Amino acid sequence: MLKTNMLDVLKKARRMPQVILPKDAAMIVAYTGVSPGWNVIDAGTGSGWLAMFLANIVKPGKVVSYERNEIFAKNVVKIIKDFNIDNLKVINKDVLRAKPRGRFDLATLDLKNAENLVPKIFKLLNDNGYVAVYSPHIEQVKRVRKVIEKLGFVGPVTIENIVREWKVTDDFTHPVPSGVLHTGFLTVAKKAGIAKSGLRR
Amino acid sequence: MLKTNMLDVLKKARRMPQVILPKDAAMIVAYTGVSPGWNVIDAGTGSGWLAMFLANIVKPGKVVSYERNEIFAKNVVKIIKDFNIDNLKVINKDVLRAKPRGRFDLATLDLKNAENLVPKIFKLLNDNGYVAVYSPHIEQVKRVRKVIEKLGFVGPVTIENIVREWKVTDDFTHPVPSGVLHTGFLTVAKKAGIAKSGLRR
Amino acid sequence: MLKTNMLDVLKKARRMPQVILPKDAAMIVAYTGVSPGWNVIDAGTGSGWLAMFLANIVKPGKVVSYERNEIFAKNVVKIIKDFNIDNLKVINKDVLRAKPRGRFDLATLDLKNAENLVPKIFKLLNDNGYVAVYSPHIEQVKRVRKVIEKLGFVGPVTIENIVREWKVTDDFTHPVPSGVLHTGFLTVAKKAGIAKSGLRR
Amino acid sequence: MLKTNMLDVLKKARRMPQVILPKDAAMIVAYTGVSPGWNVIDAGTGSGWLAMFLANIVKPGKVVSYERNEIFAKNVVKIIKDFNIDNLKVINKDVLRAKPRGRFDLATLDLKNAENLVPKIFKLLNDNGYVAVYSPHIEQVKRVRKVIEKLGFVGPVTIENIVREWKVTDDFTHPVPSGVLHTGFLTVAKKAGIAKSGLRR
């Protein structure tokens, strides 16, 4: 039987700060292979959409998401209740000062100065766990990549994706003339396990 | 604890017919919201990668995948065993002649003449279920869209996505000069429930 | 000494029917190598921008441009006078019924049913002359390519181009978030000279 | 009568250092409106293709091109003779140490550390003249934009373009699967005339 569709939740979540688009959330799936059972740490929560999208996929795994803005955090807590999302916890605290418990298989960062958070994330990740950082600006990408490489993450990759919608008719088929040309760059890297030196591709 | 990563399965699956890329499989997630508990029908199996990718996400839901080529089917059956994927069943039969049991929440079609299969899929889908068709050529897109609209699916959308990888260094940051410019077009549509007329966006 | 810049003329020309964009006019230059001394036939004139752009480049060569809509034609005739463009002639007639004098080195077609005009263009072109057809829809591309290949034009190529503008600052450099995703497809082919069979690339 | 086509010259020029592609040279035409009669300064010459492409368009205007590598310079001098390009002069000297005579309507820069050259170019340009800088890396773009803005050039714009070729057939029409995803970024700006303050867009 068809369960609640996260795309409907997205519509609710849209009222808050700018959300990461489905196309970009999908790239996190494509490049990390995030799966049921994974535990995820997410910051900042923002509109909460990415956290909910991931909670939906990792179930019975859990997502903990940090947001220092109280209004944003409360908004997501309400949506979580409305949709009964029981494997997502939103914490209204600056993640830099927080002390998350346990270890994680994936960390998703969508906040300013994400590079400052990466060393802490490195410690919180399980071996073979992934960090995925979403950066609107190229300077952010450079700072994040620098920290990631210094810490010894393996296989770092930075991508951007352009999605084009097509209008399809009998005789006038063409891409929609205008739309989104840029959202952000996604950087993904893996925390090497013991056989670290041999894993670099 | 980190579970088996589907990206590792992909590497195994690559030996067979051309696989749908992670970027395109992920777009199916982005545009259908496929979630744990969904039941999926997939055809043709091909290398099996999309079927395994979806099995991983929908668990405890199930995926049944049809493939008429015996060699392809056997190859995937072996991978399923190797990776203990217990919610995916591959059937070595032409899906057009098959009689799948039950109803489905998502149908993924990646085969020639997918348009011939769409009416059958329409009957097999639950209300609010999705069909997602992957078409390398624009003529296939047109035929599929025609059938989809005739049958009364709602909200059909056709997209393509271009992913560009960046080389990031201190002083020579630039997109990788050459790579993939086209894989296929993805068409997604929803089977309307009772309140059909009101759902069109 | 700097001469009148065609980009200023463009601004004037913008008041009329949708103009081909500079990026697309530039592709005609890139794929035909249009040069000073070439004679050009253009249809339909539309806003006149492409005709003026080409007149500027081919000087002392000439451009003759056909437009059946009287208001459009008169508009361009006025711009030609305002800017003293003496090597461009606009003729207010349906090009299909016209009898252009002389031979041409380049034909640029930006009108509906361009495929009907291609056989006539073939006869009007010099050996090694080019036809360049601008088509918003993929069905138009297919019809044009069919005629072009049947007539024995060589090296037909169809391209589209996406231009992305960047916002460049000290610390927030990124592509402009939204903009043009599609204008049209450009098809270019060459009329083979005597050594036709050897020219195919 | 059809004149020599610059695209044939390109084939000859290809043996030397990496050339700017026709798609990018054409963007310079689109964004500067370079026209017959303009005088151009170009550096470095490299394979000479951009210099020849511009010489072809600006005739009877002239192009002077600087190249400090003797082998490259000699190679282009030979091509110039072979094709009788009489309005292009290649000078085998580091442009930073050269003293070009006269004023120019367009400067095209395709060399490392182009930013160091921009102040000199500013003095050499006529009012309303353009500078166009081609930069493979984003860090180069940033340095160039900084100097351009400091000097008071107006309307600076940085673009990149992606060209996709299509395979067009009766029933299997699709973009060519792989190809060029990046060549370089093009930055164009105008030297303001007297009414400078009012020209900024």
Comparing B10 with C143, the larger pLDDT belongs to C143
Is residue A7's pLDDT more than 80? no
Angle at alpha carbon of residue C183, lines to A21 and A25, rounded to 5°: 10
Report the share of chain A in percent with pLDDT over 70: 88
pLDDT of residue A3: 55
Quickly count: other Cβ atoms within 10 Å of residue C123's Cβ: 10
pLDDT confidence bin for A20, thresholds 50/70/90 = confident
Is residue D119's pLDDT more than 80? yes
Cβ–Cβ contact A176 with C under 8 A:
yes
Using a CB-CB distance cutoff of 8 angstroms, which residues of chain A are in contact with residue C172? 136-137, 139
Asked whether residue A201 is assigned to any structural domain, the reply reads no
pLDDT of residue D21: 86
pLDDT of residue D7: 73
Interface B-D, measured as beta-carbon pairs within 8 A, has a size of: 57
Please give the tally of structural domains in chain B: 1
Is residue B196's pLDDT more than 50? no
Is residue D12's pLDDT more than 70? no
Beta bridge partners of B131: B107, B189
Taking 50 as the pLDDT cut, the residues of chain C under it are 1, 195-201
Closest chain A CA to residue C142: A171
3 state DSSP class of B122:
helix
Q: Which residue range forms the structural domain that includes residue D132?
A: 6-192
Asked whether residue A95 is assigned to any structural domain, the reply reads yes
Is residue D17's pLDDT more than 70? no
Asked whether residue C200 is assigned to any structural domain, the reply reads no
Distances (CA, A) of B13 to B72, B184, B196: 10, 19, 39
Is residue D39's pLDDT more than 90? yes
Digit-coded pLDDT (tens) for B34-84: 988 999 999 999 999 999 999 999 989 999 999 999 999 999 999 999 889
User: CA nearest D92: which of D72, D63, D78, D119?
Assistant: D72
Beta strands in A3-68 (DSSP E): 40-43, 63-66
Asked whether residue A121 is assigned to any structural domain, the reply reads yes
Comparing C45 with D7, the larger pLDDT belongs to C45
Angle at alpha carbon of residue C186, lines to C184 and C191, rounded to 5°: 155
Digit-coded pLDDT (tens) for B134-188: 999 999 999 999 999 999 999 999 999 999 999 999 999 999 999 999 999 999 9
Asked whether residue B188 is assigned to any structural domain, the reply reads yes
3 state DSSP class of B152:
coil
pLDDT of residue A140: 98
3 state DSSP class of D71:
helix
Cβ–Cβ contact A197 with B under 8 A:
no
Cβ–Cβ contact B178 with D under 8 A:
yes
Cβ–Cβ contact B180 with D under 8 A:
yes
Long-range contacts of C32-35 (CB under 8 A, 24+ apart): C32/C106, C32/C130, C32/C132, C32/C188, C32/D5, C32/D7, C33/D5, C33/D6, C33/D7, C33/D8, C33/D22, C34/C58, C34/C105, C34/C106, C34/C130, C35/D3, C35/D4, C35/D5, C35/D6, C35/D56, C35/D57
Is residue B128's pLDDT more than 60? yes
> What CATH number did the domain enclosing A176 receive?
3.40.50.150
- Tell me, what's the ipTM? 0.90
Asked whether residue D154 is assigned to any structural domain, the reply reads yes
pLDDT of residue B198: 38
Using a CB-CB distance cutoff of 8 angstroms, which residues of chain A are in contact with residue C175? 181-182
Task: Tell me the CB-side half-sphere exposure of residue A172, using CA atoms within 13 A.
Answer: 4
Within 8 A by CB and 6+ apart from A81, the residues are none
pLDDT confidence bin for D194, thresholds 50/70/90 = low
Segment D119-145 mean pLDDT:
97
Task: Tell me the CB-side half-sphere exposure of residue D198, using CA atoms within 13 A.
Answer: 3
Gap from B61 CA to chain A (nearest CA, Å): 9
Beta bridge partners of D66: D43, D91
Chain-chain contact of B137 with D178 (C-beta, under 8 angstroms): no
Asked whether residue A198 is assigned to any structural domain, the reply reads no
Is residue D127's pLDDT more than 60? yes
Do A90 and A96 touch, CB atoms closer than 8 A? no
- What DSSP state is assigned to residue A200? -
CA–CA separation, B64 vs B73, rounded Å? 12
Chain-chain contact of C173 with A137 (C-beta, under 8 angstroms): yes
Chain-chain contact of C158 with D165 (C-beta, under 8 angstroms): yes
Alpha carbon dihedral C188, C193, C199, D4, in 10-degree steps, equals -70
The values of phi and psi at residue B62, to 5°, are -125, 155
User: CA nearest A130: which of A60, A199, A189?
Assistant: A189
Is residue A196's pLDDT more than 60? no
pLDDT of residue C22: 87
Is residue B16's pLDDT more than 70? no
Digit-coded pLDDT (tens) for D66-101: 999 999 999 999 999 988 999 999 999 999 999 999
pLDDT confidence bin for A192, thresholds 50/70/90 = confident
Interface A-C, measured as beta-carbon pairs within 8 A, has a size of: 57
pLDDT of residue C1: 43
Asked whether residue B201 is assigned to any structural domain, the reply reads no
Using a CB-CB distance cutoff of 8 angstroms, which residues of chain D are in contact with residue B138? 173-174
Distances (CA, A) of A112 to A17, A140, A180: 14, 8, 22
The one-letter amino acid at C116: N
pLDDT of residue D175: 97
Task: Tell me the CB-side half-sphere exposure of residue D62, using CA atoms within 13 A.
Answer: 12
Segment D9-34 mean pLDDT:
80
